[in-house]
Amino acid sequence: MKLILKDIRVIDPDTNTDAVLDVVSEDGIITFIGKTDDISNARVIDGKGRLVAFPGLMDMHVHFRDPGQTYKEDIITGTDAAKAGGFTAVCCMPNTKPPVDNEELVSYVIDKASKTGIDVYPIACITKGMQSFELCDYDSLKRAGVYAISDDGRPVENAELMRKALELSVTNGLTVISHCEDTNITKGGIINKGKVSKDLGVGGIDRASEDYITAREIALAMSCDAHIHICHVSTKGSVNIIRAAKKDGVNVTCETAPHYFTFTEEKLYSRDADYRMSPPLRTEEDRAAIEAALLDGTIDCIITDHAPHSKEEKADFEKAPNGVVGLETSLAATLTQLYHTGKCSLMHIAKLMSSNPRKAFGIAPLSISAGQPCDITIFDPELEWEVIPEELHSKSKNSVFKGEKLKGKVLYTISKGKIVFEL
């Protein structure tokens, strides 16, 4: 199919382009970018100089619960949510049932995802069964199509195993991704440890849990000159540790999610488990630190940590599992909180949500230029809308942004030249 994006504002970090242009693609490849009057025999999307095109977004941290818990989400519904959020690529965490720790399960994810129309990269476990006792067979996992490894959902408790995984990554090229949590510190906690947990009379999760393991992972990576990627940063302490490590030349990248730079622990006064996730919402001091770290480049990527749970599971505030869905609100929440407040440019958001995640994962970033695959996210940055959970594409509706008014909406998601989502 020939596709023409007419008079669309192209934001491309790879070429440092910010201009209103026409983009032409045929057979999944961009053939021309500039100005054209030939729109014959083509599907035309008229940007009217108002709509914005980013290289397709990538979320390097999602949970699709497939295999094993598909009543919450599966690869098909998860990618439907991703496409509605403007993502042409996602990376699935391995804490499924059973965990993705072998070639057979990697192949299952890849085969099922091949029908979705977007790129789905399975992340495999660091340790067998995510039990922190024995490393997985990384050679077979890489042959099966794995780019990264993580025991996300829990930390690798054995520091020497984590060090060995990092040491091996230097030669095998797999990105090691760490869930930074000391479970001895977090034990019994369900929200941030502080005023709100005290007022509600529930167990708190001390910031030291995240800060300590962040520092540990950086020290381990330094010991073998390896790359470490830190998951879902939520504290001022972790930000400061990562910033100092980067200044010293440590090969560390990191990510955060929109809820950490939008909300604080005050949301938990509602005793609504839809505001519970791991790590938890923190204080205003932490929120401001996360925002500042995104703006100054300390935090490399915005992810969602899309973590679906059923309504029944989320009904009991104190017993509910942690996690929130986020694929369909991520770009809009980021635009609302960072762009429309004048704090951040669209170019920087494109880096945080498209090019940097791919680089951290060891994948070449996309570009809106001739000869490149036509993977493009098109959105109206001015369109205002209310998040209504029942209208989300995900099987689960546990959105931390429910009822919020957001500004910016994905209108089209184009993957390999095909429109896979249209509002």
Give me the average pLDDT of each 10-residue run along the chain (423 residues).
95 97 97 92 95 98 98 98 98 98 98 97 98 97 97 95 98 98 96 98 98 98 98 98 98 98 98 98 98 98 98 98 98 98 98 97 95 98 98 98 98 98 97
Alpha helices in 85-177 (DSSP H): 103-113, 138-144, 159-172
pLDDT computed for residue 325 by the predictor: 98
Give the separation between CA 215 and CA 235, rounded to whole angstroms: 13
Instruction: Taking each helix axis as running N to C, give the angle between helix 236-247 and helix 207-224, from 0 to 180 degrees, rounded to the nearest 10.
Output: 20
The answer regarding whether domain 2-52+371-422 maps to CATH 3.40.50.970 reads: no
Cβ contact 421:328 at 8 Å: no
Architecture label for domain 56-360: Alpha-Beta Barrel (3.20)
Which of the following is catalytic: 74, 305, 375, 380? Answer: 305
pLDDT of residue 1: 79
Phi and psi at 127, nearest 5°, equal -120, 150
Furthest CA-CA distance within the chain:
67
> How confident is the model at residue 220, as a pLDDT?
98
> For the chain, which residues make up each domain, given as ranges?
2-52+371-422, 56-360
How far apart are the C-alpha atoms of 407 and 280, rounded to whole Å? 25
**How confident is the model over 10-66, as pLDDT tens digits?**
999 999 999 999 999 999 999 999 999 888 889 999 999 999 999 999 999 999 999
CA distance 111 to 126: 22
Beta bridge partners of 122: 92
pLDDT reported for residue 421: 98
pLDDT, position 40: 86
38 among known catalytic residues: no
